[in-house]
Structure 1
Amino acid sequence: MEKSDAVAATMNQRGRVSPGTAAPAEGRSCSRLNPWVFLVSALAVKTALVTVGLVVLFHRSCGQYKTLPQNAPEWHCIPNVPASKRSSSPVEDSWKCCPEGWRRFQESCYYFSADRMPWDESQQNCSGMGSHLVAINTEAEQDFLYKQITRELKYQGQEINLYIGLRAQEVGQWHWADQTPYNVTAAFWRPGEPSNSTNEMCVIIHHKTENLRNWNDVPCRTHCNRICETAAVTI
């Protein structure tokens, strides 16, 4: 055999991989990556399934709440549209909600307190609940408040005075706590009121008056009940 043929034969033998011989380094690296690729794929699939499940659960719970919001323990909801108009209304499935224990009228919710405190503390208490002392803008709202006060069992047999959000920084200069402009044509003062005294700069509803004209200005340090107001929530 010539020298060149011998060299070629030797290289052919070195290039063969006999049975049972370990795979080359590159093959071993690929085989080691396969379990990791499988694991990452499995985790990705699991994550996708969990995400889909959460989305379905979220939509289902939202739909249930929209359909039966009265089941929510911290909210009291009523249909936003009267039953007689629901069939023709595009928002027949919407609800107006107030926190539990509050009373709803039109677009607002009202809270009638059982405890008494001065005007500043009353406003702070309302603010802590995301509301403000009530601002009364119409006769219909005043009528609603008067009737609610009369019906509240916690007030029965008592001479109740309730703070509203009207206060004067200077005598006769009345302002609502929520910055609503004061409208003298929508004011409901008792006869002879306001006294416009420097000692009486805050306003209460004196509910024993037998008509809607029951506002009275009093010293702001007087301890009275209060009415808080906040916007009703539409869902």
Structure 2
Amino acid sequence: MMNEQGRLSPGTAAPAEERSCPRLNICLFLLTTLAIKAAFMTICLVLPFRHSSDQPRDPQQQQQQQQFSEWECNSTVPQGTERGWTCCPKGWRRFQRSCYFLSLDMMNWAESEQNCTGMGSQLVVINSKAEQVFLSKQIKNAPKRENFYIGLFAEKVGQWQWVDKTPYNVTAAFWRVGEPSNAPDQNGTVIHALEHNILKNWNDVIYYTMHHRICEAAAVTV
């Protein structure tokens, strides 16, 4: 009730539109909180392979991520780094920052390279003694497999080159004793699983002979 001066009399309630709504404020706060949590969970689930900084710029890596729906990840990246999971396609073997596929079937050299490229990878390029040792041990544990194509070939006799254009360094090669023979038609390279010396097990072979293959792709870090 209002007095003659137009003021509210003591004990008179304020109009309904001027009342505070603490319950409504609480409901709005809870709804906002739930929406934020839902958005955060969605980002966490999608982030590993959609984070803008993790998207591979190399078309081969983009193709690789589209090719495989199942991945295997581990947290062997040193703690304290920004991202701590390193992933390879399921069934591939990881060493350092690369993933390797050892085939069960056999193809010639050109078909092997085409098959690896189709999976967003390449025939393996061996850059270090450690990588050579790792791969040699892997193929020794592969039963009933003898030779594996790698990404080293010669367009001309004796002019060896890697499929990714990495310079060929003869001092960092792992040829068997007496190899390469550099015969005109032996311009593909294999690793022999049956060679005892794992640091001398490369051999040049006729490019159209059928062998297993090792594909290599960069591991994805998230």
TM-score > 0.5, shorter chain as reference: yes
8 Å CA contact 1:203, 1:218 repeated in 2: yes
Instruction: Indicate the RMSD between aligned Cα atoms, in angstroms.
Output: 2.5
**Is 1:150 matched up with 2:123?**
no
Matched with 2:55 is none
Alignment match of 1:209 (pick from 195, 206, 215): 195
CA distance in 1, matches of 2:166, 2:105: 26
Matched, 1:74 2:58: no
Aligned position for 2:7 = none
Give the aligned length.
Answer: 171
CA contact (8 A) 1:171 1:198 kept: yes
SS at match of 1:204: strand
Aligned positions of 1:1-235 closer than 5 A: 55-62=39-46, 74-82=70-78, 86=79, 89-91=80-82, 94-152=84-142, 156=143, 158=144, 160-212=146-198, 213-235=200-222
The one-character-per-residue Cα deviations of 1:108-167 (angstroms, maximum 9, x if unpaired) are 000000000000000000000000000011110000001111123xxx2x3511000000
CA contact (8 A) 2:77 2:86 kept: no
| Letter in structure 1 aligned against 2:123 | L
| Distance in structure 1 (CA, Å) of the matches to 2:87 and 2:115 | 21
Q: Highest relative contact order (Cα 8 Å, sep 6+), 1 or 2?
A: 2
TM-score normalised by structure 2 residue count: 0.70
Relative to structure 1, the CA distance from residue 123 to residue 90 in structure 2 (aligned partners, 3 Å threshold; closer, same or farther) is closer
- Give ranges in structure 1 of 5+ residues lacking alignment: 1-47, 66-71
Instruction: State how far apart, in whole Å, the 1-side matches of 2:193 and 2:89 are.
Output: 24
> Structure 1 pair 55/116, CA: closer, same or farther in 2 (3 Å)?
same
For structure 2, the residue ranges without an aligned partner over 5 or more in a row are: 1-31, 50-67
Give the helix-richer structure, 1 or 2: 1
Greater C-alpha radius of gyration: 1
Contact 1:137 1:183 in 2 (8 A): no
Residues 39-62 of structure 1: per-residue CA shift (max 9 Å, x gap):
xxxxxxxxx9xx978734422424
Correspondence for 2:64: none
Letter of the structure 2 residue corresponding to residue 221 of structure 1: Y
